[in-house]
Amino acid sequence: MTKSPLAPQSTPVLPKIEGVEFAVGSNGFYGDRNDVFIARFAEPASAAGVFTRSSTRSADVDWCRQALENGGGIAHGVVVNAGNSNAFTGAAGIAKNDATVAAMCELIGCDESNVFLAATGVIGEPLEPNLVANKVKEIWPSLGSASLNDVGAAFMTTDTFPKASHVQVNMDGADVRIAGVVKGSGMIMPNMATMLGYIFTDANLSPAVCQALLSRFTDETFNCITVDGDTSTSDTVMLFATRKSGPYIDDLSDPQLEAFATGLRSLMHDLAVQIVRDGEGATKLIEIAVEGAVSDASAKIIASSIANSPLVKTALAASDANWGRIVMAVGKTDQPVEREAISIWFGDIQVAENGMRAANYSEEAASKACQAEEIFIRVSVGAGAGEATVWTCDLTHGYVDINGSYRT
């Protein structure tokens, strides 16, 4: 598959996170390419997760939610496979999970609630119960041979490039590392998270602190991207802290947490935008900022309406500054706006002001702004102080090509 034209020039080499080891392998869903990874924590790690709200969610999502609750946010192992989402598979999906968890518990010597699962790929195709479990046993002896970069490549589906990011922060004189990988290219629309994502840190954080930070920053990053308006059955983002570096923190008000929180949010934002850069068939990255709404929540609804409009996205694919389609997308939300106060900009070019076309409107200047690979759209709706920013991509024939042949 051809790499997205919006892809970063290179994938960063992720640092080793002390306290966790990885192994990768292939079940043959993508030829010889790796399509499964396992992680083992040397000592109990703090775990946090956010998951799709889809009513047709996968058995793996159900498992993780329950495991976090039953195990108190403690992790000993992780298993993730690509090629099959294990969603809408009934008893077969539960059987696959039971076998996989049993294999990990036997190898690690831990409780079931300390093992976390995820799967991504085709929906509704039952797997042979022991397929993933047998692969876990096969690759177990190679734990430690795979890097976090290998993990990021092992759970891609229609992704055209692996998505990775890392930061290092100082906490009370100690260097703390945070590194993460995500997959996602299509079926991307916020409803918790919008893909599979795994973030590892050697910070010494409690499960409660991990959960609070992950939930907060997911709403500000992964929940602010969209490719096609479709929410996956398998969306999962998890954060694991191996507790190997820095001061122990169990209080969100601890001032030593500030540097870590800033670094984590920066990393999550980077990963979220990389997903949009790899939107199926995408040729343009589009940032949409809405201001002047009655609340931040209202602003986000309006921004998402613009971002998900096929008419807006196809116009921008053709570099057509059809700002009338943005007016349409604002109006169809039923959110409170002041029609006579609405103003719109493409980059620095104002195309509408006070509810009508801008007095100095230039089609040439607006079209030029829409020819760029990265487009910034600002909309003011004149109803309050609420604001929100959403990231999306254009909609091209490439999206149809990819999804029309997804299973074939």
Q: What is the per-residue pLDDT across 346-355, written as a single tens digit (0 to 9) for each?
A: 999 999 999 9
* Contact call for residues 235 and 194 (beta carbons, < 8 A): yes
Q: Check whether 404 has a pLDDT greater than 90.
A: no
Confidence of residue 2 (pLDDT cuts 50, 70, 90): confident
Q: What is the per-residue pLDDT across 50-61, written as a single tens digit (0 to 9) for each?
A: 998 888 899 999
The residue annotated as part of the active site, out of 160, 194, 226, 242, is 194
* Contact call for residues 77 and 144 (beta carbons, < 8 A): no
69-91 mean pLDDT = 96
Residue 314's CB is within 10 A of a number of other CB atoms, namely 17
Alpha-carbon gap, residue 210 to 180, rounded angstroms: 14
Q: Which of 172-181, 192-201, 205-214 has the lowest mean pLDDT?
A: 192-201
Q: Check whether 264 has a pLDDT greater than 70.
A: yes
Helix, strand, coil distribution of the chain in percent, nearest 5:
35, 30, 35
Q: What is the per-residue pLDDT across 248-258, written as a single tens digit (0 to 9) for each?
A: 999 999 999 99
SS (H, E, C) 114-147: HEEEEEEEECCCCCCCCHHHHHHHHHHHHCCCEC
78-107 mean pLDDT = 96
Q: What is the per-residue pLDDT across 105-136, written as a single tens digit (0 to 9) for each?
A: 999 999 999 999 999 988 999 999 999 999 99
Residue 397: predicted pLDDT: 86
Examine the residue annotation and report whether 194 is marked as an active-site residue of this protein: yes
378-383 mean pLDDT = 98
Residue 122's CB is within 10 A of a number of other CB atoms, namely 15
Residues 6+ away with beta carbon under 8 Å from 112: 67, 101, 102, 105
Cα 43 versus chain centre, distance: 27
Residues 6+ away with beta carbon under 8 Å from 406: 122, 158
217-245 mean pLDDT = 89
Residue 65: phi and psi, rounded to 5, are -60, -45
54-74 mean pLDDT = 95
Alpha-carbon gap, residue 185 to 195, rounded angstroms: 8
Alpha-carbon gap, residue 180 to 214, rounded angstroms: 13
Amino acid at 235: D
Whole-prediction pTM: 0.93
154-159 mean pLDDT = 90
Confidence of residue 232 (pLDDT cuts 50, 70, 90): confident
Order of strands across the sheet with 356-357? 356-357, 349-353, 343-346, 374-380, 285-293, 386-393
List beta partners, residue 7: none
